[in-house]
Amino acid sequence: MNVLLVGLGRWGEKHLRVLREIGVTLWVADLDPARRASAAGQGIVAARAVADYREALPHVEAVDVVTPADSHREITERCLAAGRHCFVEKPLAATAADGRALATAAAAAGRVLQVGHVYRFHPVTAALRAALAEGRIGAVRYATGRIAGFKRPRPDAGITLTDAIHHVDLFAYLLGRAPTRVSAVQHDYLGRGLDDMSVTIVSYGDVSAVIEASYFLPGTHRECVLVGERGALVADYVAGTVTCHPGEHRRRGDGWEAVEAGKEELPVGRAEPLRLELEAFVAACAGRVSVAVPAAAGVRALEVVEAAARAARTGRPVALPVTA
């Protein structure tokens, strides 16, 4: 398959490596000549490294968009209109309205539109889903997630849109439920006009998830906890571990006891999430599998981000419309 990679920034370079590894015929596009030269140094034929992505569209069947969020709609609409399948890094677009427009365009063109919510492909997520399917902790009561670390703030969007959105989609995927209600606290400590710390409470029906995101916490934190009737699953995406903590509360006379039953480290694979994600995209383009992360999932995550902004601004929860 001939694939065009648009955007050769920090994350685009990772896409470049993986796309070369999985054996597609690769074109690249970036406005920066130094980045194009770097791609050529990694085996990309010079004639296939262009400044304007539109020059390459006649030569490819699919496009991988790894550019700032505010450019996603324009680039992806042009590619879909040209009859090309599209993979778009998260977020799908800068706004939910733009995301819905892309979903409509993909349906009209009859082309694949996959959203880059890479946590769905992480081996830790696979281990969590297996444990939930086995009933390891019983019915889920609530969840928590943290995606934080001391790092340079992204200049194009607030941290809820760039980071917390990972967990918004992750919990929807793990629970198999659409988000229904959102509350949030957001702060702009650096005075950039963008949130750099947020706590978002997302209800997925009767299960609520608390998601913390910030640029200030020392270290690198990519964690989630699922608490059920008979224990909890603790996942660390940095360490690549999932620990099951069986235990429950039992009534003893007029009171309650917390009865623990040890803990168990669950098996976790070591496959690279980005490779699994892009392989799934190529397979969907070829018609071998269905789209792993459809546009509707990307739109729903954006709706949660926008609801969180309204909730933080007004101090009141925001209900989301029920979807099929």
Question: Can you give the pLDDT of all 324 residues of the chain as single tens digits?
Answer: 999 999 999 999 999 999 999 999 999 999 999 999 999 888 898 899 999 999 999 999 999 999 999 999 999 999 999 999 999 999 999 999 999 999 999 999 999 999 999 999 999 999 999 999 999 999 999 999 999 999 999 888 999 999 999 999 999 999 999 999 999 999 999 999 999 999 999 999 999 999 999 999 999 999 999 999 999 999 999 999 999 999 999 999 999 999 999 999 999 999 999 999 999 999 999 999 999 999 999 999 999 999 999 999 999 999 998 765
Using omega within 30 degrees of 0 as the cis cutoff, is the peptide bond preceding 68 cis?
no
- Picking from 62, 83, 116, the residue at the C-terminal end of a domain is 116
Would you state the pLDDT for residue 277? 98
Task: List the beta bridge partners of residue 88.
Answer: 65, 115
Q: Which amino acid is at 12?
A: G
The torsion angle over the Cα atoms of residues 145, 119, 71 and 109, rounded to 10 degrees, is -130
How far from 290 is each of 14, 36, 154, 179, 236, CA to CA, in Å?
Answer: 24, 33, 33, 23, 29
143 and 92, same domain (yes or no): no
171 and 228, same domain (yes or no): yes
219 and 84, same domain (yes or no): no
Identify whether 296 is part of a domain: no
Identify whether 275 is part of a domain: no
CA distance 277 to 242: 21
Length of the chain (residues): 324
- CATH code, domain with 83: 3.40.50.720
- CATH code, domain with 164: 3.30.360.10
Identify whether 308 is part of a domain: yes
Would you state the pLDDT for residue 285? 97
Q: Which amino acid is at 195?
A: D
- Picking from 93, 116, 139, the residue at the C-terminal end of a domain is 116
105 and 171, same domain (yes or no): no
Would you state the pLDDT for residue 88? 98
Task: Report the first-to-last Cα separation within the chain, whole angstroms.
Answer: 34
Determine the structural domain holding residue 176 and report its residue range: 120-269+302-319
241 and 161, same domain (yes or no): yes
Give ∠ CA 146-197-67 in degrees, rounded to 5.
85
54 and 135, same domain (yes or no): no
209 and 226, same domain (yes or no): yes
126 and 212, same domain (yes or no): yes
Identify whether 252 is part of a domain: yes
Would you state the pLDDT for residue 324? 57
Burial class (CB in 10 A: 0-12, 13-18, 19+), 218: exposed
51 and 165, same domain (yes or no): no
Is the CB of residue 282 less than 8 Å from the CB of residue 25? no
79 and 225, same domain (yes or no): no
109 and 135, same domain (yes or no): no
Report how many domains make up the chain.
2
Would you state the pLDDT for residue 108? 97
